[in-house]
Amino acid sequence: MERNIGIFGGDDRYCYLANDLILRGNKVWVWELGSERSACPLLSEYEKVEAVKSFSELARVCQVLVGPVPFSKYLKEKKEFGDSLCKALQPGQYFYAGGIPKELADTLKNSGVKVTDFLKEKSFLKKNAELTAQGLVAEVMCAWKKRIKGAKVLVTGFGFCGREIAGIMRGVGADVTVCVRRMQSAWEAYEAGFSIGYYEQLDGLLPGMDIVINTVPAMVIPEDRLRHAREKTLFVEIASAPGGFSTELAEKLGMMVLLCPGLPGKYAPEGAALAMAECIV
């Protein structure tokens, strides 16, 4: 059964997503993926793509709406959009995005909208983490300028991204230590064959590291501990705000800082789109 699915505000992943949803038998409507179809070449071949001029029109014609990842960043750029979203969506409609603020999600759910946050779906998180790890290797190689084989690497966090990143860095020859807070995470990392550290031990861990990769969206490396790292250590941030360390202080202390948001969209947009499409009912 053909459904009208509206896609808005996304990057290249969303062109691939539109493509995939069309091949699954849906009609796709787009807003702010470019003012013309030629701005999104992947969509130009399909008759089942329609562009609209406003979000209210998109919401009026589509049962399913798909917004950006991360959605919180999109809301910061469009400060009044949250209110427009709540006014436009009706009970029974579906809304998908990644990183939806809890207050907004609760408001939509209370009004009868069926809300799915990609970043809370395990199947999406696992595939997204795999793509993030693959892209991260490319970013680190460009920034590090040295052999990764033999480098001392600290990965903070052992969730979906931390696990994949630790594994792929070990796979290219790095000596990887995983820094965790919980005993369960420590046990999982130990079973996977990694050296273990705790955040309380960072004073002793950081001086020996060449590369530090943060996957935790919380300040797990506070300023007093950050000062223990060596100059020229490469600090990599993939987590969303507020991040795991002060990038400003790290740079001031002579460390290299690499910010890596949205790696799946940059390196593997088609794979990232497929992960999203499989979450859309």
CB atoms within 10 A of CB 86: 14
Q: How far apart are CA 186 and CA 204, in angstroms?
A: 18
Phi then psi dihedrals of residue 125, to 5 deg: -60, -40
Residues 231-263: tens digit of each pLDDT: 999 999 999 888 999 999 999 999 999 999 889
How high is the pLDDT of residue 12?
Answer: 82
Residues 2-15: tens digit of each pLDDT: 899 999 988 888 98
How high is the pLDDT of residue 281?
Answer: 73
Alpha carbon of residue 124 to chain centroid: 10
How high is the pLDDT of residue 51?
Answer: 87
Mean pLDDT of the chain: 92
How high is the pLDDT of residue 48?
Answer: 65
Residues 139-181: tens digit of each pLDDT: 999 999 999 999 999 999 999 999 999 999 999 999 999 999 9
CB 213 within 8 A of CB 165: yes
Q: What is the pTM of this model?
A: 0.85
How high is the pLDDT of residue 73?
Answer: 84
The residue type found at 107 is: T
